[in-house]
Amino acid sequence: MASERLSVVVTRRLPEVVERRLSELFDARLREDDTPMTRDELVAAVRQADVLVPTINDRIDAGLIGQAGARLKLIANYGAGVDHIDVLTARQRGILVSNTPGVLTDDTADMTMALILAVTRRIPEGLAVMQGDDWPGWSPTALLGGRVAGRRLGILGMGRIGQAVARRAAAFGMQIHYHNRHRLRPEIEAEVGATYWESLDQMAARMDVLSLNCPHTPSTFHLMNARRLKLMKPDAVIVNTSRGEVIDENALTRMLRAGEIAGAGLDVYENGTNVNPRLRELKNVVLLPHMGSATREGRIEMGEKVLLNIKTYHDGHRPPDQVVPSML
């Protein structure tokens, strides 16, 4: 198997150094422009390739996998999340799936803290004043935000990213609380002084800031639904750098407009690029275009993991970051 060059199809433009290495090692078909592949292009890719390198924009569902040719044996996802890939169907067809976990932990945690600060300190409103050349000068009561030190931060999902957020927030003097499927080991809790809540409802009702850091799975879809959002305090803030589907976006928008939640910082959206237009109108909302993982270092490290997974598979071994249905 290792004697011939693998046919590798990449669905989006990747950092130049990653594309160059892919071309050196494999028969790589790279994307000429940075637009998502159409469905027809994806069908052609899975019919021709030994390895497909998709991104979060590509819907690799059962219908697409069903059209794969006999050559396709690995879907080496460029990204940690695999909710856009039907991993079970792929496994049934004898196609391995790998991802790139761990490399974006610090980048996403940094962005979570940036959103917490941006919302609580009203940073975008200040930027708008300055960029609009509309600053009359300093005033004791202008653009008053809130101090983050002493606030209770509730983290929903205490995996790698959640723990990284906890360490950063603790350094800012925030009180750390969390809800997770499984309680952390005592030594990890002690490291950041985290308090575990078995009940998400009870935690949500008592937090000043709620940070969503859990994956999108059937069990987390609309985990923050209208009923649970209504439990939050009127002066609370919610931040989401995980997956947009975790929040009922319409319910959140209604409550923000009504002043039932003080503010929100969102980097991801329930319907992808189709953002609720009413969210754009609100001054108490900070909207970012899915920038949580957008660092040069992180994107190159993602590519290095993709390369390692493909090379390891080509050498006849299990990819180090193989995803199996039981992991989801």
pLDDT at 89 over 90: yes
| pTM for this entry | 0.90
Domain ranges, ordered by start, for the chain: 7-102+295-327, 105-287
Tell me what pLDDT residue 325 has.
80
Tell me what pLDDT residue 327 has.
53
Tell me what pLDDT residue 1 has.
46
In this prediction, residues 15-34 reach a mean pLDDT of 96
Report the alpha-carbon distance of residue 151 to residue 47 in Å, rounded: 53
Give me the percent of the chain exceeding a pLDDT of 90. 94
pLDDT digits (tens, 9 = 90+) for 38-62: 999 999 999 999 999 999 999 999 9
In this prediction, residues 274-289 reach a mean pLDDT of 94
Tell me what pLDDT residue 217 has.
85
Q: How would you list the strands of the sheet with 195-196, edge to edge?
A: 195-196, 175-179, 152-156, 209-212, 237-240, 263-266, 285-287
User: What are φ and ψ of residue 315, in 5° steps?
Assistant: -80, 0
For 270, other C-beta atoms within 10 Å of its C-beta total 21
Report the alpha-carbon distance of residue 15 to residue 296 in Å, rounded: 8
Burial (CB count within 10 angstroms: exposed 0-12, middle 13-18, buried 19+), residue 117:
middle
In this prediction, residues 186-215 reach a mean pLDDT of 96
Fold agreement (7-102+295-327, 105-287)? yes
CA-nearest of 312, 303, 316, 252 to 282 is 252
Task: Please state which of the four CATH numbers 3.40.190.10, 3.40.640.10, 3.40.50.720, 2.60.40.1930 is assigned to the domain occupying 105-287.
Answer: 3.40.50.720
Answer for the pair 318, 5: CB distance below 8 angstroms, yes or no: no
Q: Return the HEC string of the chain.
A: CCCCCCEEEECCCCCHHHHHHHHHHCEEECCCCCCCCCHHHHHHHHHHCCEEECCCCCCECHHHHCCCCCCCCEEECCCCCCCCECHHHHHHCCCEEECCCCCCHHHHHHHHHHHHHHHHCCHHHHHHHHHCCCCCCCCCCCCCCCCCCCCEEEEECCCHHHHHHHHHHHHCCCEEEEECCCCCCHHHHHHHCCEECCCHHHHHHHCCEEEECCCCCCCCCCCECHHHHCCCCCCCEEEECCCHHHECHHHHHHHHHCCCCCEEEECCCCCCCCCCHHHHCCCCEEECCCCCCCCHHHHHHHHHHHHHHHHHHHCCCCCCCEECHHHC
pLDDT digits (tens, 9 = 90+) for 233-281: 999 999 999 999 999 999 999 999 999 999 999 999 999 899 999 999 9
Instruction: Specify the residue for token string 């690799």.
Output: 60
In this prediction, residues 166-178 reach a mean pLDDT of 98
At the fourth CATH level, the homologous superfamily of domain 7-102+295-327 is NAD(P)-binding Rossmann-like Domain (3.40.50.720)
User: What are φ and ψ of residue 112, in 5° steps?
Assistant: -60, -45
Report the alpha-carbon distance of residue 309 to residue 99 in Å, rounded: 8
Tell me what pLDDT residue 326 has.
65
Tell me what pLDDT residue 49 has.
97
User: 175-184: string of b/e by CB count within 10 Å (b at 16+)?
Assistant: bbbbbbeeeb
In this prediction, residues 140-154 reach a mean pLDDT of 96
In this prediction, residues 157-171 reach a mean pLDDT of 97
In this prediction, residues 97-114 reach a mean pLDDT of 96
Tell me what pLDDT residue 196 has.
98
